Amino acid sequence: MTVECPNTFQASTESVPLEQARRCFRNELKIIDKDVSQLVGVIGELTGQRAEARKFRRRLETRLSEVNNVLLDSRSDDQRVEISRWQRTRSFRLIIEYLLQKGFFDTASILVNQHGLEVTDGAKTNFLANPLEFMLRRQEFVEFCRRRDLANAISYAKKHFANFSVSNELEVEQSLALLAFGEDSEIMPYKWLYDLDRWTDIADQFDHDKFALHGIPDRPQLISLIHAGLAALKTPQCCTSDTANINCPVCSPPLSSISTFLPFAHHETSLLVCPISGELMDADNPPMVLPNGNVYSSKALHEMAASMGGSVLCSKTKNVYRMMEARKCFI
């Protein structure tokens, strides 16, 4: 055996595992290539299915729109008149309800007579389970104690507090203690009972019960509906005078002060309104931006350019530009 024999033997023993590693690598590479190919195919199928789903969605929206138009057209004139009459009657009822809550009884009565509306009074007059009666009895007892007319106070308590000895036991006990404490007492709750603000509480409770007897909520429905409508229309542009729109109810002076504390409406897609024409800017009426950065609708600018010899006037800055300087705006 020569000197090279050990080296030759070592090289031959190392070539076997190296070849096995290469074979394993090629096998794994084939598997990975196969998986990648399948994954690319699945992604392609999903992309095609997504486009197909969008196409079906557009078809479905078109068909639903057609069905809706057919339903609207199928309504008879009598049905439309009836719906219009119901909406008008409901609006007047809301207005009358608001007037009654604010104390404009004569005006509410005039509206009732003019529009043939009827106010039904199915109220229950049983106040025994109502806090108003106890509040009135207690306050009358307090006034006797305020004047230190203790004899009449005791007589009054014996006559009227017996009905409330169970339902208002704690309040009755606190009220009877006023026989020993005068109006100048600083001890609670006697100081609270002598406070003249209790008359305000009685007035508020009276209004609440009065509305409840006639089926009128504490908060006027008219105000709630107006707030809901304004919140559905309110956008950040409604808060500043520079971006106010003359055709926007939220921007109008009578309603702008009401809408200041209302939240903004949630819009998943932006709706652009032309400050000049008040029309929506869409694919048929695309937005166009002037060199100063202000955006107007294409229709409004073309109509202005036709009347101004190819020039347009920015309604905000009063700058004049050539129509060719306006560029389409993509959002």
- Helix 131-146 × helix 150-160 angle, to 10°: 160
Q: Is the pLDDT of residue 261 over 50?
A: yes
Q: What is the pLDDT of residues 53-108, one digit of tens each?
A: 888 888 888 888 888 777 766 666 667 777 778 888 888 888 888 887 777 888 88
Q: Which range, of 23-32, 137-146, 253-262, averages the lowest pLDDT?
A: 253-262
With bands split at pLDDT 50, 70 and 90, how would you rate the model's confidence at 264? confident
Degrees (nearest 5) of the Cα angle 317, 320, 324?
A: 125
169 shares a domain with 140 = yes
**CATH code for the domain of 305:** 3.30.40.10
Q: Is the pLDDT of residue 133 over 50?
A: yes
194 shares a domain with 143 = yes
Q: What is the pLDDT of residues 108-130, one digit of tens each?
A: 888 888 877 765 544 444 444 46
| Domain membership flag for residue 4 | no
Global confidence as pTM: 0.43
User: Could you give the C-alpha distances from 71 to 64, 65, 68, 84, 87, in angstroms and in order?
Assistant: 10, 10, 5, 17, 20
| Domain membership flag for residue 137 | yes
The number of domains in the chain is 5
| Domain membership flag for residue 193 | yes
What pLDDT does residue 38 have?
85
- Domain extent for 95: 90-117
Q: Which residue has the tokens 């004139």?
A: 77
Q: What is the pLDDT of residues 205-216, one digit of tens each?
A: 888 887 777 777
Q: What is the mean pLDDT of the chain?
A: 79
**Spatial contact of 168 and 133, defined as CB atoms under 8 Å apart:** no
| Domain membership flag for residue 267 | no
What pLDDT does residue 20 have?
79
What whole-number distance in Å separates Cα of residue 295 and Cα of residue 228?
Answer: 29
What whole-number distance in Å separates Cα of residue 329 and Cα of residue 50?
Answer: 28
| Domain membership flag for residue 7 | no
- Any residues with CB less than 8 A from the CB of 134 and at least 6 apart, and which? 164, 167, 168, 171
With bands split at pLDDT 50, 70 and 90, how would you rate the model's confidence at 243? low
140 shares a domain with 177 = yes
Q: Note the Cα 16 to chain centre separation in Å.
A: 76
With bands split at pLDDT 50, 70 and 90, how would you rate the model's confidence at 172? confident
Percent residues over pLDDT 90 in the chain: 1
Q: Is the pLDDT of residue 294 over 80?
A: yes
31 shares a domain with 94 = no
209 shares a domain with 152 = yes
| Domain membership flag for residue 169 | yes
What pLDDT does residue 123 have?
43
What pLDDT does residue 242 have?
66
What pLDDT does residue 82 have?
78
| Domain membership flag for residue 42 | yes
290 shares a domain with 229 = no
| Domain membership flag for residue 11 | no
What whole-number distance in Å separates Cα of residue 207 and Cα of residue 201?
Answer: 10
Q: Note the Cα 101 to chain centre separation in Å.
A: 24
List 312's β-bridge partners, or say none. 321
Structure tokens of 171? 């309040």
